[in-house]
Amino acid sequence: MTSPSSTTGRRWWWIAAAIVVLVAAGVLFAVNRGDGKPSAGDTTPPLAASAGPRPSRSEPACLPTVIEAGFAVVGQSVRYGVVARNDCPEAVINAAVKIRVVDPSGNPVAGTDEQLPDLVVLLPGQQLAGAGRFYLDKPGKVGKVEAAFAAATPAPTTAFAAWPRQVSVTGVTAGAPDSHGRSTVTGRITTDPANTALCSPTASLILRDSNGKIIYGMTGQIRDDQVSFELAVPKATDRSTISVAIALGQPALTLDSVPTAACTA
């Protein structure tokens, strides 16, 4: 004969088992319902497929172009000149020229940039020459000097409104060589308008042969409105085409970069 306490215990056991079965069935229903549709009581909107962030398509920086380059090897020093042109719609500041010296086979030549062309500021449409110097690690043949602008920052042309419209060097003359074969090349800086102040000027001498090819370049000294260079003028130089270019502007790695570059800060 079964006691009342035993009967009551079995009853509670069956009730507990039924609850467990109902809970398990509910979980199974929820898991199997994988159609992605919200239930009647679900107010959470479905997640839309994310397109992901789109990469920005910023225009590449407009850089000036090196349109001509030439050189001479003096000992282990490569003396070169370049001509650059700014076809960008705006002025550029902090313009940096990168040089690559190669042998006749086109392989890079080991050496050091002793001086790069000082062409840090170019106005729209401006064409300007600059000179530099590369020192070879050891004597050897040089086939070519390759030059290109590696960087430049656009700047409003109006920031350079105080600059002269034109800067030129007149009366360029190469004197007779001394006992060591060195000559002094001189010239006078003129501006339009006259007597306009110059912003950090640099003078570059460019020598060409009878075919108009650049065969030498070097920077010189400026005292007031006079420029001068001391060098052994190469025999192949066409003396009627000796020219001096004046570059203006200065590097501007500051918060007020444009006024600094234009010497108005």
Compute φ and ψ for 264, nearest 5 degrees.
Answer: -115, 5
Give the type of residue at 30: A
Mean pLDDT over 208-236 rounds to: 97
CB 257 within 8 A of CB 206: no
Q: Break the chain into its structural domains and give their ranges.
A: 65-261
**pLDDT, tens only, 83-102:** 999 999 999 999 999 999 99
> What Å distances lie between residue 214 and 6, 79, 93, 160, CA to CA?
115, 11, 26, 30
CA–CA gap between residue 122 and residue 153 (Å, rounded): 10
Burial class (CB in 10 A: 0-12, 13-18, 19+), 255: exposed
3-state secondary structure of 94: strand
CA–CA gap between residue 174 and residue 226 (Å, rounded): 14
- Whole-prediction pTM: 0.76
Number of residues that make up the chain: 265
CA–CA gap between residue 33 and residue 145 (Å, rounded): 72
3-state secondary structure of 240: helix
**pLDDT, tens only, 7-22:** 444 444 444 444 544 4
